[in-house]
Structure 1
Amino acid sequence: MKDFEHLISVWQEQPKQPRLSVDDVLKQVKKGINKLGSRVLYGIIAISVTIIFTAGLTLFAVFERRLSYIGLFVLLFGMIAYLILQIGDYRTITRQDLTLDPAAYLNSLKEYQKRRAYLHGRFYYAFALMTCLGISFYTIEVFQNKPLMFKVTYYIFCAIYILFCTFYLKDRFIQREQKRVSYLIERLERLEGQFE
């Protein structure tokens, strides 16, 4: 019984977290959401331009081998799948108004966090594989008359770049974005806890 009383006294002595200002939290969350939304929108614009360029290359360039067309179609398929996921993420983060229903907005932020984890997790490797295959098939014909040293240098550079993106940049990007989203979720949950 003595231990229980000691636990209660320690628990009661814990400093209470200061109350959050609703206006400050809403401003922080809106600023964070606008930043996340603009990054996703930039990604949508960038991949859309790339899709248009690749589609134009597929439609208007003349290749001798079917393998080049297959490579371009694989690239297009991967980019379109990525675009669809990006649009879904953008809609998830921007469809709710924070001031109308904070609880629903908190749920949409959690959904966004799960979708981004999927996009940067499992789908990234499928996208990287499609990109590698597409570029490999496409460049077979494009580099047909190039010297062997050029081909080897190009493929080594591509492999190093993909490995760098996969094992260094991707992880840093994911950690930074997850930290921002987690911070926004934590602020909203803490604010919600004040009113319960």
Structure 2
Amino acid sequence: MKDFDHLLSVWQEQPKLPKLSVDDVLKQVKKGINKLGIRVLWSIVSISVAIATTAGLTLFAVFEKRLSYIGLFVLLIGMIVYLVLQIGDYRTIARHDLTLNPGAYLNSLKEYQKRRAYLYGRFYYAFVLMICVGISLYTVEVLNNKPLVFRIIYYTLCAAYVLFCTFYLKDKLIQREEKRVSYLIERLERLEEQFE
């Protein structure tokens, strides 16, 4: 019983977390959400330009082999699915007004975090596979009359870039975004606990 009393006294002596200022938390969360929103919007614009370019190439370029068209269609499908997911992510974080209902906003942030985990987790590998297959099928005809050394260098550089993005860059981006979103969620949860 003595140990329990000692443990209880130590627990009660723990310093309480300082109360958060509502205005400061709201400013921090809005700033963080704006950064996330701008990043997602930039992704939407970038993939839209890529889709328009690929669609233009598909419609107006003349190829002898069907393989090139199949490759371009695979690229288009992968990019369109990615665009739809990005638009969904943007709508998730821009759907609610933080000042009207912080609880609903907190839930939308958690939903955003889950969607991004899916995007970077499972879908990323499907997306990369579709892009690689599409580019490979497209470049068969485009690089057909190029020297073998050029084709080897091209495919090697493409493979190295995909591996670099998959095993290094993706992890860094995920960690940075996860850290930002977790920080925002933690701030809102602490604020919510303060008012309970």
Coarse TM-score class (shorter-chain normalised) = over 0.9
Question: 1:38, 1:27 → 2: CA distance?
Answer: 16
Alignment partner, residue 117 of structure 2: 117
Alignment partner, residue 149 of structure 1: 149
Question: 1:103, 1:193 → 2: CA distance?
Answer: 11
Q: Report the residue type matching 1:49 in the other structure.
A: V
Shift of 1:2: 1.2
Aligned pairs (5 A) from 1:131-142:
131-142=131-142
Q: Deviations over 1:71-108 (max 9, x none)?
A: 00000000000000000000000000000000000000
Aligned pairs (5 A) from 1:159-174:
159-174=159-174
Q: Deviations over 1:30-83 (max 9, x none)?
A: 000000000000000000010000000000000000000000000000000000
Alignment partner, residue 13 of structure 1: 13
Q: SS of the counterpart of 2:19?
A: coil
Unaligned runs of 5+ residues in structure 1 are none
Question: 1:66, 1:87 → 2: CA distance?
Answer: 31
Question: 1:59, 1:179 → 2: CA distance?
Answer: 42
Question: 1:7, 1:101 → 2: CA distance?
Answer: 39
Q: Does 1:103 align with 2:103?
A: yes
Percentage of pairs with the same residue: 80
Q: Deviations over 1:125-164 (max 9, x none)?
A: 0000000000000000000100000000000000000000
Q: Report the residue type matching 2:158 in the other structure.
A: C
Shift of 1:3: 1.6
* Equivalent residues, number: 196
Question: 1:109, 1:4 → 2: CA distance?
Answer: 40
Alignment partner, residue 178 of structure 1: 178
Unaligned runs of 5+ residues in structure 2 are none
Aligned pairs (5 A) from 1:29-44:
29-44=29-44
Q: SS of the counterpart of 2:15?
A: coil
Q: Report the residue type matching 2:131 in the other structure.
A: T
Alignment partner, residue 191 of structure 2: 191
Q: Report the residue type matching 1:139 in the other structure.
A: T
Shift of 1:115: 0.1
Q: Report the residue type matching 1:14 in the other structure.
A: Q
Question: 2:76, 2:3 → 1: CA distance?
Answer: 65
Alignment partner, residue 48 of structure 2: 48
Q: Report the residue type matching 2:31 in the other structure.
A: K
Stretch moving more, 2-11 or 78-87: 2-11
Aligned pairs (5 A) from 1:62-101:
62-101=62-101
Question: 2:40, 2:29 → 1: CA distance?
Answer: 16
